[in-house]
Amino acid sequence: MFALVVAHLAVAGLLPLVSARSRRAAFLAAAVLPAVTLVWALLNLGPALHGGIDATTAWAPALGLTVSFRLDALALAMIVLVSGVGAVILVYCVGYFGDSPDGTRNAALLLAFAGAMLGLVLADDLLTLYVFWELTSVASFLLVGQSGADRAARRAAVQALLVTVFGGLAMLLGFILLGEAAGTYRISEILASPPTGGTVPVALVLILLGAFTKSAQLPFHPWLPAAMAAPTPVSAYLHAASMVKAGVYLVARLSPAFAGELAWWLPIVVAGLGTMLIGGFRALRETDLKRVLAFGTVSQLGFLMVLFGAGSRVASYAGVAMLLAHGLFKAPLFMTVGTIDHSTGTRDLRELSGLWTSMRGTAVAAALAALSMAGIPPLLGFVGKEAAFEALLHDSLPAALGILVGSVLTVAYSARFLWGAFATRPGVAPTPVHAPDALLTGPTWLCALAGLVLGVANPVVDALAAPYATAYPGEDYHLALWHGLGLPLLFSAIAVVGGLLVFRAPLPERRSPLDAQRGYDGLIAGLGRVATGVTGRLQVGSLPFYLGTILVVVILLPGIATLVGGVWPADQPLFSAALQLPLGFAAAVAAVAVVRARRRFTAVLLVGVIGYAVGGLFIVDGAPDLALAQFLVETLSLVVFVFVLRRLPAHFTESEKPSRRAWVPKAVIASVGGVAVAGMAVVASAGRTAPPVASGDYFRLAPAGAGADNVVAAIIVDFRALDTVGEIGVLFIAAAGVASLVLATRYDRRGRAGQSSPEHEKDVAG
């Protein structure tokens, strides 16, 4: 599994070389790995459905860090979308992009995204999942923003990145709280023995925040319609088949363990129902075919959230069926929009007319997909929606009624899409069309027919959903096209009839005053104003003010946390070596003298005394390497200060004694800050009761691996050689700066303001 994920990312890095020769070949090459992944998953179908397949790769064994993957029924369903539909869309890209320059970057980015998404759905570790989660956000940002030349695309990419990364950071905190409460970060172990109480409810809410932002749930949904600025294949893959389902997948993955927690299922059901209704209503008001589908996707994601958050066996069957159905009907609908745009030059349904006649094949494929979205038998969408009504009518009548209203809106915007794209409109001339390429229509047909085939062959989906559904309590259930007459069938009929009536009814023109996009814009503008105000008050050009602000933050955050949660060692000695006393005394006396100094040169020398005293403490404590670095830095700093002081007045500029109001707060902050830092150092050093696990490996590897008896030297020169090279680079830059100061004095004009005169240098030296 790890090899497949790495292969996606590695080949993506090589694809620009292929694109340089042929952009079409790059997309075809990119489609190979997802197709191979789907074949691999299907070949492992048996073991995946009967217990799952685990694979663990050691990352840092001494620290207990591993990359864990697991292929089970839920991951297999997602691979059908991520790799199966992904491979089809990459083939579609050949016809869509052709030899366009945009194809060079999109082939590599789409394959890299496919690898990140594959890692996400296979991850069996919370931290591994988070890494791939954020990789998908970065890939989405690059794919939506494209080259950055289009302002709308840039804004959409930034909005998607801000929203999803904000949710991702909250989710990371939730993962840490959950992992610490469970005593493990392995997802399979958490599902086997879920933790309860304590910080678990807080962790679940934070995790849901990440899932809601990623899957465009209310009120975070505006980023998804805005992302329609991306090319249509990107929308078909990221915003229909795969990425937006990451949040749904996360909810589905953890629901078997936490479906009974109020902090879990209540936000999911409330947000999911609200998202389904808002998205469906907004889809009826759009005139751009892509935005109709975008808001339809928002609505369907809310539907999926409700199903996976309901926490019942029947709802889980419905969730898996609708998860597959959504990818198999929404991807071809997006590809249909791309085909129409390619063939006519527009996506505005007010300008399109007569395409049912001129693009008959594309129209039939789109009709199959739209009928599945509307829940018409014998398509897979009907099978999933019938199971959803069955589950919610049994578990929660209000939720079932909410889903019914949402399904009415789904039928209405499905009809609106077909009518707007293909109908012959009175008073509108037939839209000129040039015949679409087979590489545009073929992938569309393949996905649409898959929805029909799986609807008829629903036992295949039932077998895929069963291992996941058995984790929930409840009576046994099987997906089928016919469950007899009953309320679920009645609800399906009401949804179809009601949706057609809503489609025919005129909509009010007045928009709602509650607009989440306006809320996002207002929030960003407000943050900008706050940042400007805070910067204007804090960035005042005063170095003492900056240092005071840093110390106050240290005192309030880590200082208070250490005071509350830390434990002061009972046997803390005042000193461990006699030489520490005179060195510490010298540093303290020099620090007090610095405050009293009136000459700049005197103050610099006293600061140097403090630094050399600290270096002496390093030697006493057995760290000569740190002492050497300290002496070098202090010497270099002294030299730099001397050259700088030649340009400054000899005395500090204060001509009168500062007022009590000025120096008392500074003295209090400095004193409390010093005590706080010293206390944190003592508490932190006492908190380590044994050497780190990695230290044993350092001692073991130093003689044989580095040929050094001094383990510190081995760490600096061999084990952390890159860090050492970086530190040497910093010293080199500082030395170059000093040399520049020295050389610059040679070209000073003599006598300029008296700054380089012998009299001035004598005054500086005292």
Q: What is the pLDDT of residues 696-707, one digit of tens each?
A: 778 888 887 778
Place of tokens 């007022």: 659
Q: Give the distance between the most distant pair of CA atoms in the chain.
A: 107
The band of 764, judged by pLDDT with boundaries at 50, 70 and 90, is very low
DSSP letters of 651-692? B-S--SPPPHHHHHHHHHHHHHHHHHHHHHHHHHHHT--S--
The band of 189, judged by pLDDT with boundaries at 50, 70 and 90, is very high
- Nearest CA to 466 out of 637, 318, 268 is that of 318
Rg (CA), the chain: 33
Q: How far is CA 377 from the centre of its chain?
A: 38
What distance in Å separates the CA atoms of residue 646 and residue 462, rounded to the nearest whole number?
83
pLDDT tens profile 69-128: 999 999 999 999 999 999 999 999 988 887 777 777 888 999 999 999 999 999 999 999
Which 3 state secondary structure label does DSSP give 54?
strand
The reported pTM is 0.80
- Cβ atoms within 10 A of the Cβ of 173, count? 15
**pLDDT at res. 701:** 83
276 close to 306: Cβ distance less than 8 angstroms: yes
Q: How far is CA 359 from the centre of its chain?
A: 40
* Cross-strand partners of 55: 69
What distance in Å separates the CA atoms of residue 547 and residue 536, rounded to the nearest whole number?
17
What distance in Å separates the CA atoms of residue 282 and residue 304, rounded to the nearest whole number?
18
- Nearest CA to 594 out of 586, 547, 664 is that of 586
**Cα–Cα distances in Å, from 50 out to 53, 319, 463, 697?**
9, 20, 11, 39
pLDDT tens profile 312-324: 899 999 999 999 9
Taking all residues of the chain, what is their mean pLDDT, rounded to a whole number? 86
What distance in Å separates the CA atoms of residue 708 and residue 537, rounded to the nearest whole number?
53
In one-letter notation, the amino acid at residue 316 is S
Place of tokens 């520049």: 740
Q: What percent of the chain has pLDDT over 70?
A: 94
In one-letter notation, the amino acid at residue 555 is I
- Nearest CA to 246 out of 270, 213, 294, 269 is that of 213
- What average pLDDT does this structure show over 282-294? 90
The band of 511, judged by pLDDT with boundaries at 50, 70 and 90, is low
Crossing angle for the helix pair 397-422 and 262-283, to the nearest 10 degrees = 30
pLDDT at 510 over 70: no
pLDDT tens profile 421-431: 888 888 888 88
Domain ranges of the chain: 259-503
What distance in Å separates the CA atoms of residue 264 and residue 518, rounded to the nearest whole number?
28
Q: Indicate if the alpha-carbon torsion angle 435, 439, 440, 442 is positive or negative.
A: positive
pLDDT at 340 over 80: yes
